[in-house]
Amino acid sequence: QVQLVEAGGGLVHSGDSLRLSCAASGPAFATYAMGWFRQAPGKEREFVSALALNSGITYYADSVKGRFTISREYAKNTVYLQMNSLKPEDTANYYCASTYNVAVHSEASYKYWGQGTQVTVSS
């Protein structure tokens, strides 16, 4: 069973930066990609970003492209989401997840999920 633990959320002002981390433990073979999703109050969970582990190909939602960067630190088995130029509309609970499936934009593709970390951006 893969376990994912997110950290790094917090309360920031518009324009600030945050870096989220997702530490993975447990059997990770055949994991195709790691992804980040977010869910704002009253809204459905949405795709934010993903990283295909073997190829290094990255994927971003249009709303975060150019502001967020996903990366991986192999030695720590950790995936990061660097979030710059944060906006109030980025306020949400952020989740990391892992998938064996190439459909990285689809929430249904992901098998393992972290507990989430809250990001709040004030205007």
Which phi and psi (to 5°) does residue 36 adopt? Answer: -120, 135
| Banded pLDDT at 28 (limits 50, 70, 90) | low
CA torsion 73→70→38→118, rounded to 10°?
A: 60
Per-residue pLDDT of 32-73, as tens digits, reads 999 999 999 999 999 999 999 999 999 999 999 999 999 999
The residues near 70 (Cβ < 8 Å, ≥ 6 apart) are 34, 36, 49, 50, 51, 58, 60, 79, 80, 81, 82
